[in-house]
Amino acid sequence: MSEPSVVIAGFGGQGVLFAGQLLAYAGMENGRFVTWIPSYGPEMRGGTAHCTVIISDRLIGAPTVTHPDIAIVLNQPSFDKYEPLVKPGGLLVVNSSLVTPSSLRDDIELALVPADALA
């Protein structure tokens, strides 16, 4: 992955946008080109939120991501939306505290993390 694309998605208040910013800043600190595109609803907390991050060694032509290399999903609606979109050979990181993964895909790696229990 010379230009990995990451989607982080969950409920507002779960740190989705902060996690994306952290990832983007880490890329910048390592001398890479990055994009960070947040998206969220009008709610203060509890609405949907997601962001996309691209980290690259060269200029990034388009900041949009349709099929991410990596998806980090923190709730069930995000799992249902992004699991089918992860590129074959990609990674799906799932908050197993809130998500019951029902993936039938054998072409992606699935990592279960009890994020709420660890927080």
- Given a cut of 70, is residue 1 above it in pLDDT? no
Question: Could you give the 3-state DSSP secondary structure of residue 51?
Answer: strand
pLDDT for 46 equals: 76
| C-alpha–C-alpha distance, residues 52 and 9, integer Å | 9
pLDDT digits (tens, 9 = 90+) for 71-90: 999 999 999 999 999 999 99
Verdict on whether the full-model pTM lies above 0.85: yes
All domains of the chain in start order, with CATH: 5-118 (3.40.920.10)
CA distances to 6, 24, 44, 56, 110 from 106, rounded to whole Å, are 20, 29, 37, 27, 9
Which residue in the block uniquely carries the two structure tokens 């069930």? 76
Q: Which residue has the higher pLDDT, 102 or 58?
A: 58
pLDDT digits (tens, 9 = 90+) for 25-74: 999 999 999 999 999 888 777 788 999 999 999 999 888 999 999 999 99
